[in-house]
Every structure is written in structure tokens, then in C-alpha cells.
Amino acid sequence: MSTYIPAIKGYIADVPRVHFKRCDNKVFYFDEITQASIQPNVQFQEVNAGWSNYPVAYLPGAGTMEVQMTSGQFNSDLFAMANAVNAETKAFSTYETDTFALDPAKDVKEGYFEVKLDEPGNYEATQIKDVIINGLEKGTDYEWTEGENGKTVKLPETVIKKPLTLEVTYIVEHPDTDVIEIDNKSSAIGEATMKFPVYNNGDDCTDAAIKGYYVIKIYRCRVTTMPGFDGSYKSPSTFQLTWSAMDAKRNDGKDYICGYVPNKQATQSNGGSGNENLGG
């Protein structure tokens, strides 16, 4: 005996929330998506035979499914997840550049400029591990020393050309920083789930705008396009990645599942059950 299951009707006019359960059982969650798509495809093979001008059969061939997601939020988890690595705490070095104006009357001593360097930004003096003066060679054109008065650059007066300025680059060490080290040789495998909100179709008797959620779960997929960086002046950046479905090696042969989950916060009005207009 068959059971009639009414079709779910409504409108999807929003982006999903995405969960990705990596094969090491770590779950990543992304809820500020700007675009997402799921595109399954089966490549059928034509069978041409006999006297027919048309194929006599189409046999199912290799199947593909791509899941694309674009995040409007920068999230370091996106990069850790995609590259199958975890964040760790360790030392990390950065570069900071500043420009100093030299005063021959004040800074020159016995034919040498001696300039005390201020720490760039809000960094501590102990974080400055090296100083590079652009265009000059350390040890030959200048010396960098640390004395009682702080870090000082000493260089002959003859190596400085007008205008009397120094472009100084500091190497700053951050001792305890959350970093992600990537070898770009592997990508994550896991289970991807997208939860789309379904809005009322105008005939429903629910008070809430969202009547439920349509959830699509891909049992096994791999990241095949890594997120990158694309910054523009005063424009928000987005971060995109692509998953491609793999053989889930399930006994039933299924690759993905779709299901509707009602919104429990949606209340019924006019005494209706909310199901009168769900049928096809």
C-alpha cells in the first residue's frame, strides 16, 4: 500500500547555512554566505544501433556533483577546513616599514648618522628582530646595534643622498600567534550539509515568513577549489571554494539526500494545520 506524501511548496530566496564535517570528525560552520549552489549531473552514454536516426538508449555513465560556496565573512576556519589542517599557536614574523627624516645638525657624529629607531606600531622593543634599510647593505653601509638607549642605526654620512630620509623595514616577531601552515598538497574530505530557508508561498496559514528548511546533505565530497584572497579598495572581499562529490561507498549506492524540516517556531493561524496547500 502506498503512502501519499504531499509536495513541499514555497520559495527559496536566501543563502544556506553550511556545515562541513571533515573526515577527522571536526565540524566547520559557515553562516555568512553570499552565494551557494549544488549542481548534480549524470553523463549519459548514447547507444546508436539499427536503422534508427535517433539513439535507441541512454545508459547512465559517470556522475558528478559540484557544491560551490562563497563566504562574505573572512573566517580562518575556511582555510583550515579546505586544506585539511588545524590552526596552531607558534611564533610568526611580519614586516613593518616606516620612514625617518634625518637631521645632519643633530644626528651626525664624527661623520656618521646615529638614529634611534622607535618601535613601529604598538609592538614591544623585544619583538624587533632585525632592521633593513632599503637600498643599503647591512654590515657594509650601516650597523644596527642595541644599547642603553634602545635600537640604533649607525651609517656613514656619505651613503645618504638628498633628501635625507631613511626607509626602514622592521622584522617583527609575534611569539604566540594563531597560524595555519599550508603545503597546498592536500584538501579536505568529508560530509557537506546546506540548509536553505523555505519561505511561505502566500497560501500557507503560518504566521512566520520561514515555513521550514530544505536540507541537502552530500555524504562524501572533497574540496577541489581552494579559497584565496582577492582584496579591492574599500570593497568587501569574498572567499569561494568548491566541493566535488565522491563515491560514498554506501550499501544503498546513494550519494546525497534531501529533506524538509518544518520551522517549529511557525504558528498556525485561522485554525488551519498549515498543510492544506502543501500538496501537489
Please indicate, yes or no, whether residues 68 and 115 belong to a single structural domain of this protein. no
Q: Is residue 268 part of a domain?
A: no
Please indicate, yes or no, whether residues 63 and 32 belong to a single structural domain of this protein. yes
Please indicate, yes or no, whether residues 81 and 190 belong to a single structural domain of this protein. yes
Whose cell is 555513465? That residue is 61
Q: Is residue 189 part of a domain?
A: yes
Tell which of 129, 160, 179 closes a domain: 179
More confident call, 278 vs 204: 204
Close Cβ partners of 200 (under 8 Å, ≥ 6 residues apart): 10, 11, 206, 208, 209, 210, 211
Q: What is the rounded average pLDDT for all residues in the chain?
A: 81
Span 147-169, pLDDT tens digits: 655 667 777 777 666 667 778 88
Q: How many residues does the structure list for the chain?
A: 280
Q: What is the pLDDT of residue 274?
A: 42
Please state, in angstroms and rounded to a whole number, the distance separating the CA atoms of residues 94 and 80: 20
Element (H, E) at 210: strand 210-225
Please indicate, yes or no, whether residues 93 and 159 belong to a single structural domain of this protein. yes
Confidence label for 134 from pLDDT (cuts 50, 70 and 90): confident
Please indicate, yes or no, whether residues 248 and 130 belong to a single structural domain of this protein. no
Q: Is residue 199 part of a domain?
A: yes
Tell whether omega for the bond before 163 is within 30 degrees of 0, i.e. cis. yes
Span 198-238, pLDDT tens digits: 988 766 665 568 889 999 999 999 999 888 888 888 888 88
Element (H, E) at 71: strand 57-71
Give the range of the structural domain holding residue 215, as residue numbers without chain letter.
Answer: 17-86+185-262
How many domains are contained in the chain?
A: 2
- What is the three-class DSSP state of 80? helix
Please indicate, yes or no, whether residues 64 and 95 belong to a single structural domain of this protein. no
Q: Is residue 6 part of a domain?
A: no
